[in-house]
């Protein structure tokens, strides 16, 4: 056996602390790079809580710093990532994430474990020396790469779009928000009880509280299993609060899963019909409502052509969109969205809106919301509604209805939140959302 083959066999058998975590992390990141959503490792995936935390941290930073890491790779690899190189890119990105942006985890282990992980992947193993060279060069120039402009974190088409709509300063704040990630916002079923103190939460508005730091998973936190609260970003809570209907009124939640807005509507005393077209998402909706001990009439159906037996006092449309407003929680949306996709989503939204109007009683209220930071999916859609449905009359949102979030209401009475919105220390930092409201005359 040649020396090269002997070394290869040895490396395949020898193990190193932390190597398995990098290998699992690379596989999960490779799955995300292929266009899928990131699902953090849970207890079933990685039993050891320390290893699980390390794996999730490595991938999260690699995703949050995706734009910076892409720029580094472009500068250090003139020919780009080798084709048909297996897990090479994912291993490289995790290595660069640790080396440049997680200095507390050690530069030596970043390089060593990345190279060892590459050696154990059939396709990536051919490029282990290339990987080693790129990481070592990045280490030598670390100060340069750590000082990159945050505008590089986002695709340039989004930077251009957002700068035009929100301004340069807001986009700078977007970058800071992406790197920092999002805290945990939750809605309490009973905001007057002692649970907020037990959770260590800070009051936001209405029944929302924020938990900045936690030592346990969501399902282990006080009150979760007994259904005393649900997870929902404070910006996502605004739409369902804006119905001005009598208790017992019927509301159609047209794109209901996973159920945060459905829960809000039930808590407000409305009779809720929750519609969704995904069996998997409906199952999650059912589980969430069961845990909360809330009841709704759940229907599997297509929001574009759902035909109810009777019309509703209210229709809530949380329309399918680019989800660009959720980048603090789901940074992978930034790499998965391209301009050509937006037109198709806008068309789908208009089909759902048209059907939603048909589902309204006379005097009924329509609320449209999207977790998008793109004007095409928010403000432009609201203008389209105004020009195409003369039977609808705008119902501008007032300051009192938003608990003092004056900066979130524009001159049309529409709601626009974003991660750069400066609402003071207690309310700064929220997802990007757009909300508009009408009544059927």
Per-residue pLDDT at 2 exceeds 50: no
**Contact between 75 and 88 (Cβ < 8 Å):** no
Of 98-107, 385-394, 423-432, which gets the smallest average pLDDT?
Answer: 423-432
| Six token digits for residue 119 | 């050696």
User: What pLDDT does residue 271 have?
Assistant: 97
User: What pLDDT does residue 369 have?
Assistant: 98
Average pLDDT over residues 253-271: 97
- Per-domain boundaries in the chain: 3-148, 234-440
Average pLDDT over residues 342-361: 97
User: What pLDDT does residue 193 have?
Assistant: 81
- Cβ neighbors of 118 (< 8 A, separation 6 or more) are 87, 88, 91, 124, 125, 127, 128, 131
- Radius of gyration of the chain measured on its C-alpha atoms: 24
User: What pLDDT does residue 10 have?
Assistant: 43
Average pLDDT over residues 155-169: 96
Q: Does domain 3-148 have CATH number 3.20.20.60?
A: no
Q: How many CA atoms lie within 13 A of 237 on its CB side?
A: 25
Percent of the chain with pLDDT over 70: 95
Q: How many CB atoms lie within 10 A of CB 284?
A: 14
User: What pLDDT does residue 407 have?
Assistant: 85
Cα 390-349-363 angle, rounded to 5 deg: 35
The pLDDT mean for the chain works out to 93
The band of 424, judged by pLDDT with boundaries at 50, 70 and 90, is: low
User: What pLDDT does residue 405 have?
Assistant: 80
Cα 190-191-194 angle, rounded to 5 deg: 90
User: What pLDDT does residue 215 have?
Assistant: 81
Angle between the 156-166 and 168-180 helix axes, to the nearest 10 degrees? 120
Scanning the structure block, which residue is given the tokens 């800070």? 202
pTM, to two decimals: 0.92
The band of 6, judged by pLDDT with boundaries at 50, 70 and 90, is: very low
User: What pLDDT does residue 212 have?
Assistant: 86
What does the alpha-carbon distance between residue 349 and residue 384 come to, in Å, rounded to a whole number? 11
User: What pLDDT does residue 426 have?
Assistant: 59
The three-class DSSP label of residue 373 is coil
**Residue among 359, 366, 378 at smallest CA distance from 310:** 359
What does the alpha-carbon distance between residue 119 and residue 296 come to, in Å, rounded to a whole number? 53
User: What pLDDT does residue 399 have?
Assistant: 87
What does the alpha-carbon distance between residue 395 and residue 380 come to, in Å, rounded to a whole number? 17
Q: Which superfamily is assigned to 234-440 in CATH?
A: Vaccinia Virus protein VP39 (3.40.50.150)
Per-residue pLDDT at 9 exceeds 60: no
The band of 423, judged by pLDDT with boundaries at 50, 70 and 90, is: low
User: What pLDDT does residue 421 have?
Assistant: 84
Task: Render pLDDT for 127-157 as a digit per residue (tens, 0 to 9).
Answer: 999 999 999 999 999 999 999 999 999 999 9
**Contact between 229 and 250 (Cβ < 8 Å):** no
Percent of the chain with pLDDT over 90: 86
**Contact between 431 and 210 (Cβ < 8 Å):** no
Average pLDDT over residues 342-358: 97
Higher pLDDT, 4 or 187: 187
User: What pLDDT does residue 436 have?
Assistant: 98
Task: Render pLDDT for 274-321 as a digit per residue (tens, 0 to 9).
Answer: 999 999 999 999 999 999 999 999 999 999 999 999 999 999 999 999
Task: Render pLDDT for 179-197 as a digit per residue (tens, 0 to 9).
Answer: 999 999 999 999 888 899 8
Pairing relation of β-strands 271-276 and 360-370? unpaired
């Amino acid at each position: 056996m040649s020396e090269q083959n002997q070394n290869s066999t040895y490396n395949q058998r020898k193990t190193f602390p932390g190597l398995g975590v990098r290998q699992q992390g690379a596989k999960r990141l490779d799955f995300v790079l292929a266009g899928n959503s990131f699902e953090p490792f849970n207890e079933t995936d990685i039993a050891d809580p320390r290893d699980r935390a390390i794996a999730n941290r490595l991938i999260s930073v690699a995703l949050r710093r995706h734009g910076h890491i892409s720029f580094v790779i472009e500068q250090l690899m003139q020919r780009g990532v080798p084709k048909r190189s297996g897990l090479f890119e994912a291993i490289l990105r995790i290595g660069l994430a640790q080396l440049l942006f997680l200095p507390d985890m050690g530069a030596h282990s970043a390089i060593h474990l990345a190279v060892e992980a590459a050696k154990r992947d059939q396709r990536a193993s051919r490029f282990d020396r290339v990987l080693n060279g790129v990481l070592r060069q990045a280490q030598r120039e670390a100060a340069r790469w750590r000082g990159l402009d945050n505008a590089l974190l986002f695709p340039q088409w989004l930077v251009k779009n957002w700068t035009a709509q929100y301004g340069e300063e807001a986009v700078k704040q977007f970058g800071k928000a992406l790197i920092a990630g999002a805290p945990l916002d939750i809605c309490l079923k009973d905001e007057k009880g002692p649970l907020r103190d037990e959770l260590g939460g800070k009051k936001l508005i209405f029944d929302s509280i924020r938990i900045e730091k936690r030592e346990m998973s969501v399902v282990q936190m006080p009150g979760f299993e007994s259904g005393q609260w649900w997870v929902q970003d404070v910006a996502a809570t605004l739409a369902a609060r804006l119905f001005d209907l009598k208790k017992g009124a019927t509301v159609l939640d047209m794109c209901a899963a996973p159920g945060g807005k459905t829960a809000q509507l039930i808590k407000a005393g409305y009779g809720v019909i929750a519609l969704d077209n995904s069996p998997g998402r409906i199952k999650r909706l059912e589980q969430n409502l069961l845990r909360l001990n809330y009841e709704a009439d759940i229907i599997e159906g297509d929001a574009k052509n759902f035909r109810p037996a009777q019309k509703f006092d209210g229709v809530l449309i949380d329309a399918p969109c680019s989800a660009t407003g959720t980048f603090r929680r789901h940074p992978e949306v930034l790499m998965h969205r391209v301009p050509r996709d937006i037109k198709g989503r806008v068309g789908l939204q208009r089909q759902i809106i048209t059907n939603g109007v048909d589902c309204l009683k006379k005097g009924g209220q329509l609320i449209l919301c999207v977790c998008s930071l793109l004007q095409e999916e928010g403000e432009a859609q609201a203008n389209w509604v105004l020009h195409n449905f003369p039977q609808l009359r705008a119902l501008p949102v007032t300051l009192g209805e938003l608990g003092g979030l004056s900066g979130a209401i524009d001159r049309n009475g529409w709601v626009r939140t974003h991660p750069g919105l400066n609402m003071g220390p207690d309310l700064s930092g929220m997802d990007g959302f757009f909300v508009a409201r009408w009544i059927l005359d």
